[in-house]
A and B are shown apart, each in its own frame.
Chain A
Amino acid sequence: MTIIFYIIQKEFKQIFRNKGMLPIIFVLPLLQLIILSNAATFEIKNIKFAYLDSDHSSSSRALIQAFEASTYFNVVRHFSSQTQANEAMLKGEVDVVLAIPSHFDRDIQKNKQATLGISINAIDGAAAGVENVYISQIIQRFNKNIKTTQLLATKPSASTRNVIETIPLFWYNQTLNYKTFMVPGILVLLVTMITLFLSGMNIVREKEMGTLEQINVTPIKKRHFIIGKLFPFWILGIGLLTIGLLIAKLLFHVPMLGSLLLLYLYTSVYILVILGIGLFISNFTETQQQAMFVAWFFTVIFILMSGLFTPIESMPKWAQIITKFNPIKYFVEVMRMVMLKGAGYIDILPQLGKTFLYALLMNTLAVWSYKKTE
C-alpha cells in the first residue's frame, strides 16, 4: 500500500513540477469550455441576403420589405444585373439572392400569378434547406396578405379553409438554448481529452526516457505500479469535471435536475475506461509520438461520432454500430439525461452497465499487455 502511495506522490510531483504543463491542463480546457460552448449552434440566422429587383413596383418593394423585416435575413446588397449577383455569390458575399422579374406587379394584378427566382448557396445542404423553409414562409405570408386585402374588397366570406394548427413544444429546453446542450457535451470532450492524452503519454514517456527499466528492476508489483500511475489522472479528471460543472452552473446557468452524486458515480467509472484505453495505447507504442497519433486518431473518431455535433440516428446502420463502442457517446447521453432531464439510477443503468463492462475490459487488457520485461 505504501508503495502505491509513493508512486502516486511521485506522479503528482511530476505533474505539478512541469510549469509549462499546468496551464495546458487546467486553463486551456476551461477557457475552451467558456468560449467554444457559444459556437456550436445549427440555428440559421444572419443570412446574407441580396435582391435583384427588375420591377421597381409597389409589390416588389413590399416583398423586399417583408424580407428586411425578417430577423433571419440581413439584406446586405442589391444588384442591378444577374452577372453582378452571380459574381457576389461566387465570392461568398451573399448566400441567398432573390430575383424579382420585370412585370411582377402586372402579373399579380392581371394573372393573379407570378414567379420569383431564388438562388441559394447550397454547399451547406442542411442550412440551405432551412433557408428555403424561411423563404417560403415569408412568401406564403405575403401571398396571404394580398389575398386578404383583395378578398376584403371583393367577397369577405371566402375563408372556407381547414386549418390544422401545430403547436411545437420544446421540452426540457423551451427557449432552444444551445448552450445548455453544448456545455455538458464540451465538458465531456475536455475531460476525456485531458485524461486520455496524459495517461497515453505517461508510461510511454518513461519507456522513451529509459526510466521504465529502472522501475522494472525494482520490486514494485505490476498492478501497484499501474494503479499508482493512473490514480493521479483519475483525480485530475474528477477535478476538471468539478470545475467545469461549476462554470456550467455559475456562468451558463445550465440546470442540474438530477443527482450530482449519480453524475460523479458515472464519471468515476467512465474515467477508468479512458485511462484503460490510454494505458493500452501506451503499452503498444514505443514513442510518445506514436502514442499521440493513436490517441489523436481515436479522439477525433470518438468526438465526431458521439452524437454531440451531428445526430447518431442519421448515420448509416454500420456507423451506428461503431458508435456503440464509443465511450464518449455514453457519457454525453448520461450528462444530458441527468443534468437536463433529471434521470435517475434506473434510467442510466444501461449506460452505466456498459461503461462498467468497458472499463473492466480495457483495464484487464491494459494490465495484461503491460510487461515488466521486454
Chain B
Amino acid sequence: MKRFVGFVKKEFYHIFRDRRSLFILFGMPIAQILLFGFAITNEINNVNIAIVDHAKDATTTAIIDKISSANYFSIVQIIEREADIPAVFQQGKIKAILNFEKDFSQKLITNQHAQVQIITDATDPNTANTVSNYINAILQQYQKQLNHEVSTPYQITPETRMLYNPELKSVYMFVPGVMTIILMLVSAMMTSISITKEKELGTMEILLVSPLKPFQVIVGKVFPYIFLSIINAIIIVLLSIFIFKMPIQGSLFLLGLESILFIVSALALGILISTISTTQQTAMMISLMGLMLPVILLSGFIFPISSMPLPLQLISHIIPAKWFIIIIKGIMLKGVGLSFVWKETLILVLMTLFFIGLSIKKYKIRLE
C-alpha cells in the first residue's frame, strides 16, 4: 500500500510539473464551455433574406413589414428581376427569397387567392426547412388577421405547456452536451496517452519489474486523472449554474456520483485504448479521431437520435456519452432521482466493467 501511495504521488508530481498541460487541462474546458454555451444555438436568428416583389402594393408591403419586424429575419436585399436569383444564392449570403406574384392584393381581393413563393437555399436543408416553416407561420398569422371578421364556427384551442424548458433555450440542450464531450475526450485521451508514454519511452519496463503489481500500476496511473476530471466537472457545473443559469432540479449529490461514474468509464476506455496501442501517436489518433465525431454526432448532443435511421440508433447505444447525456438532462432539468435513471446508470456501470475486463485481458505484462 505504501508503495502504491508513493507511485500515485509520483504521478501527481509528473502532472503538476508539466505546467503547460495543467493549464491546458483546466483552461481549455472553461474556455470551451463559455464559448459554446453562448455561441452554439440551433435557433434561427438574423437570417438574411431577400424579396422579389412583383406587386409592390399595400398587402405585400404589410407582409414585408411583418417579416422584418420579426427578429428571426433581416431583409437585406430587394431583387428587381427573377433572373438574378441564382446569382444571389451563389454568393451565399442570402438564405431565403420571398417571391410575390403580380397584382398580389388585387388577386387576394377578387379571387380570394394569391401566391407567394418561399425560395430557400437548401444546400443547408436544416436551416432551409426551419426558415421556410417560420416564414410560413408568419404568413399564416397575417392571413388569420385578414380573416378576422369572418367568424370561425368551430374552435379547438390547444393549451401547450413546454415542460422543463419553457423558454425553449438551446443552452439547456447544449451545456450538458458540451460537458459530456469535454469529460469524455479529456479523460480518455489523458489516460491513454500517459500509459502509452511509459511504453514508448521504455519506462514501462522498469515499472513492470518493480514490486508493484500491474494492476496497481494502472490504477495508480489513472487515479490522478479521476481527481483532475472531478475538478473539471465541478468547474463546469458551477459555470453552467452561475453563468448559464441552468437549473439543477434534482440532487446535486446524485449528479456528482453519476459524473464520477462517467469519468471512470471514460478513463477505462482510455486504458483499453492504451493496451491496444504501442505509441502515443496511435493512442491519440484513436482517442481523437475515433471518439470525437461519434461522440458529437451520435450522442444526441446536437442531433436528435430518434430521427436517425435505425442502424444508427442501434450504434448510438454503444456510445457511453449518449447515456450520460440522458442522465444529466434528467437530473438537471427534469429533477428525477435514481429510480428514473437506474437503467442508464446500470448500462454505464456495465460498460465500465466491460472496458476494464477487456483491458485486463489485453494487458501484456511482458514487452516484446
Contact = CB atoms under 8 A, between A and B. Distances in A.
A317 B338 CA distance: 41
A305 B296 CA distance: 13
B292 A168 contact: no
Contacts of A212: none
A41 B303 contact: yes
Interface residues of A, number: 120
B38 A319 contact: yes
B216 interface: no
Given A20-B279, A39-B303, A147-B154, A167 B118 contact: yes
Interface string A279-298: 00000011111101111110
A44 B114 contact: no
A359 to B, nearest CB: 21
Nearest to B127: A311
Interface stretch (A138-146, A229-237, A245-253): A138-146
A112 B129 CA distance: 34
Contacts of A313: 44-48, 95
A300 B159 contact: no
A297 B32 contact: yes
Interface stretch (A30-38, A268-276, A365-373): A30-38
User: Is the contact region of chain A dominated by helix, strand, or loop, or is it mixed?
Assistant: helix
Contacts of A297: 24, 28, 31-32
B3 to A, nearest CB: 26
Given A125-B170, A127-B304, A296-B185, A311 B124 contact: yes
Interface string A195-227: 001100100010000000000000000000000
Given A35-B315, A42-B42, A164 B284 contact: no
A374 interface: no
A177 B190 CA distance: 38
B102 interface: no
A32 B298 CA distance: 11
Contacts of B25: 293
Interface string A134-167: 0110010011001100110000000011111111
B181 A165 contact: no
A54 interface: no
B217 interface: no
Given A172-B123, A197-B285, A120 B43 contact: no
Contacts of A121: 163-164
Contact of A181 (B126, B130, B170): B126
B360 to A, nearest CB: 21
Interface in A34-63: 35-36, 38-48
A128 B168 contact: yes
B147 interface: yes
Contacts of A262: none
B152 A304 contact: no
A316 B170 CA distance: 13
B330 A170 contact: no
Interface stretch (B205-213, B234-242, B306-314, B346-354): B306-314
Interface string B144-159: 0011001011111111
B130 A42 contact: yes
Nearest to A151: B153
Given A113-B155, A116-B156, A311-B42, A130 B133 contact: yes
B121 A172 contact: yes
Contacts of B112: 160-163
B272 interface: no
A128 B150 CA distance: 31
A252 to B, nearest CB: 13
A189 interface: yes
Interface in B11-58: 18, 20-21, 24-25, 28, 31-32, 35-36, 38-48
B282 A108 contact: no
A322 B109 CA distance: 49
A39 B298 contact: yes
Between B120, B156, B308, the greatest number of chain A beta carbons within 10 A of the residue's beta carbon is seen for B156
B278 interface: yes
Contact of B293 (A189, A290, A293): A189
A316 B47 contact: no
A337 B92 contact: yes
A343 interface: yes
B195 to A, nearest CB: 12
B224 to A, nearest CB: 14
A41 B126 contact: yes
Nearest to B72: A314
A309 B42 CA distance: 8
Interface string B137-178: 101001100110010111111111111111111101100000
A119 B340 CA distance: 19
Given A115-B158, A121-B163, A123-B173, 5 more contacts: A24-B285, A139-B158, A168-B118, A290-B20, A300-B185
Q: In the A-B complex, list the 4 residue pairs whose CB atoms are closest, starting with the nearest.
A: A125-B168, A319-B39, A170-B122, A122-B162
10 contacts: A18-B281, A28-B289, A128-B168, A168-B136, A173-B123, A176-B129, A181-B123, A288-B284, A296-B185, A342-B90
